[in-house]
Structure 1
Amino acid sequence: MVRVTWFKVDDGFYRNAKTAMLSDAATALWLRAATWACDQLTDGFVPERILPMLRRGEGMEQELVDAGLWERLDGGYLFHDWLDYQPSAEEVEALRQKRSEAGRRGAKITNSKKSAKAAAGDAADARQDSGNVLGKKAANLRPVSVSVPVSNTYVLDSVADENPEAISLCKHLADLIEANGSKRPSISKQWKDAARLLLDADHRDPVEAHRLIEWCQHDPFWIPNIMSMPKFRKKYDTLRLQAERANPRSKAQQNQDANEQMVRRYAQDAQNARQAEQLRLGA
């Protein structure tokens, strides 16, 4: 799929009064958050709950707010003057729709030409077979092929709907299932949909969900009973209640531990990606 969004950064960023004195960590957070907002079409809004995934460090958000780059809102932060420099979600969706329609029209024309060519070839074959059998019923005539254009609307929608937190939960569950000795499950569309609905429709805390995946894949009873993300979503409340009874520590402490695990996981994923890129460039 051809991407239609790019995060635009002014070439004077390095010397701007707002950014010149930023710490490297805050600058990195700003950039990661900006690309996330672009990818997710949030019009510059960054929810508080995804900041651990972006490797937020202590005090970074306030540093960006103090510099005038972010504005504090309920539930997260908003990039200052985002729509002055970046396309809105509405504009991006309109462009995607325009490209999708153009692709469908092109596919329809191509398939119509292929069908007409196939029909002409079949008619010629039929005439030849009729002459060869001298009036006998012709056999083995090829049917006229009718190509069905495949819409790429689903591809666009599925990519747009992908939530990085949902993908992270899927990978975490798959990793632990494999670590328990089972065949690594495929992270299918059903898995991604279940994880996305868990967060967006059920309004589950991603940190708590991460912790429950960890807990259920170490519990002797639940290890063989939670082998997919749809099953995890279905049994979520049961798992939550049993985990709370099994561990008397406060929920805040448990979530803090899970949050630290998530941060370590994101850091490891980023390091692996950098190493893979270095190997690719070296090759």
Structure 2
Amino acid sequence: MTWFKVDDGFWSHPKTAALPPAAISLWVKSGAYSCQHLTDGRISPQVLRLLGTRKSARDLVNAGLWHEVDGGWVFHDWSEYQETSGDVLKRRDEAKERQRRSREERAKKQRESQRKSQGMSHVTEGVSSQEVFYPRPDPTRPDLSSTYVGEGRSPNERANEEPPPRNCEKHIGDPNPPNCHACAQARTQLEAWHAERAAIANENRRAELQAQVEAQRFAIDHCDLCDDDGYRDGRVCDHDPEADERNARGMAEVRAVLAAARRGGGSDE
């Protein structure tokens, strides 16, 4: 993205103080157009029909802000106040080179980290074959990892199951069952069921967010248009190398429609 620079004294400068609003509008819009399309301050008659009128162009020439040249008009002393097309293209090439070096350095660090991880793998070899002893559960607290009857099935399969009953088979449907050991076990299983559902939901959400982050990082790492933070010329990059071409085609169509409308409407004076 390039910026058309306007001095804070522009509004009161002798060259602009007597200009009509239409001429000032043409000057500002033409400057922004030239920065976007890298024309180095040159405005063609076709572009003028899109941005203003010939009368406003004559006003700018008479004020010394524009010069009339072959094939249109040009801003006065453009290169002294604005970036030239060469400067912009050089800056973009330098940014691309910085991004390339940064990506190469990041990839190098990732490869080194992987080699170090592989070199330390012998430390954990054989751990899975060793016998693992678990502490005895506290009999006063429910073991939510083993009391639910759905254990042994995959999380996705268990996620679609109906909750177990709150009471035992003998007292099922009874709103006020008596003290019953089987009912207590049923309530423990129901608590385990709810706890497992919450854990599955949290894990699915975490996995979804992680996948989004990895997909975004992958897109940035493989995009030649944006920087390491995913920004392209000050805006969030869409990682679409054909976007500028489509925008240019769209602008060309808009200009053609406006030019046809102006020609059909008579004089542009």
TM-score, normalising length: structure 2: 0.51
Task: Decide which of 238, 257, 261 is 1:257's aligned counterpart.
Answer: 261
**Secondary structure of the residue that 1:96 maps to in structure 2?**
helix
C-alpha distance in 1, partners of 2:119/2:45?
65
**Secondary structure of the residue that 1:72 maps to in structure 2?**
strand
C-alpha distance in 1, partners of 2:242/2:39?
15
| 2:222 partner letter | V
Task: Decide which of 56, 66, 71 is 1:70's aligned counterpart.
Answer: 66
Runs of 4+ in 1 over 4 A off after TM superposition: 122-127, 129-134, 153-165, 258-261
- 1:1-283 to structure 2, matched below 5 A, reads 3=1, 5-54=2-51, 56-57=52-53, 59-125=55-121, 128=124, 132=128, 149-153=221-225, 162=245, 166-169=249-252, 207=256, 210=257, 256-257=260-261
Aligned residues: 166
Kindly state the Cα deviation for residue 59 of structure 1 after the two structures are TM-superposed: 1.2
**Secondary structure of the residue that 1:7 maps to in structure 2?**
coil
Kindly state the Cα deviation for residue 89 of structure 1 after the two structures are TM-superposed: 1.4
Kindly state the Cα deviation for residue 53 of structure 1 after the two structures are TM-superposed: 2.8
C-alpha distance in 2, partners of 1:169/1:131?
67
**Secondary structure of the residue that 2:43 maps to in structure 1?**
strand
C-alpha distance in 2, partners of 1:32/1:49?
14
Kindly state the Cα deviation for residue 119 of structure 1 after the two structures are TM-superposed: 3.5
TM-score, normalising length: structure 1: 0.48
Kindly provide the CA deviation profile for residues 66-95 of structure 1, in whole angstroms up to 9, marking residues without a partner as x.
111111122221001111211221122212
| 1:166 partner letter | R
Kindly provide the CA deviation profile for residues 151-201 of structure 1, in whole angstroms up to 9, marking residues without a partner as x.
52597895896586622356x6xxxxxxxxxxxxxxxxxxxxxxxxxxxxx
The answer (yes or no) to whether the contact 1:40–1:160 under 8 Å persists in 2 is: no
| 2:106 partner letter | T
| 1:167 partner letter | G
Q: Gaps (5+ residues) in structure 2?
A: 131-217, 227-231, 234-239
C-alpha distance in 2, partners of 1:67/1:159?
40
C-alpha distance in 2, partners of 1:87/1:109?
31
C-alpha distance in 1, partners of 2:126/2:262?
75
- Give the 3 Å change call, closer, same or farther, for CA 158–25 of structure 1 in structure 2: farther
Query: In structure 1, what is the equivalent of residue 153 of structure 2?
Result: none
C-alpha distance in 2, partners of 1:75/1:82?
17
The answer (yes or no) to whether the contact 1:53–1:165 under 8 Å persists in 2 is: no
Bigger Cα Rg: 2
**Secondary structure of the residue that 2:106 maps to in structure 1?**
helix
Kindly provide the CA deviation profile for residues 246-273 of structure 1, in whole angstroms up to 9, marking residues without a partner as x.
xxxxxxxxx6436569xxxxxxxxxxxx
- Give the 3 Å change call, closer, same or farther, for CA 168–8 of structure 1 in structure 2: closer
C-alpha distance in 1, partners of 2:103/2:34?
32
Kindly state the Cα deviation for residue 130 of structure 1 after the two structures are TM-superposed: 6.2
Q: C-alpha root-mean-square deviation of aligned residues, in Å?
A: 3.6
Higher RCO, 1 or 2 (CA under 8 Å, sep at least 6)? Answer: 2
The answer (yes or no) to whether the contact 2:96–2:224 under 8 Å persists in 1 is: yes
Percent of aligned positions that are identical: 30
- Give the 3 Å change call, closer, same or farther, for CA 41–99 of structure 1 in structure 2: same
Q: Which structure has the highest helix share of the two?
A: 1
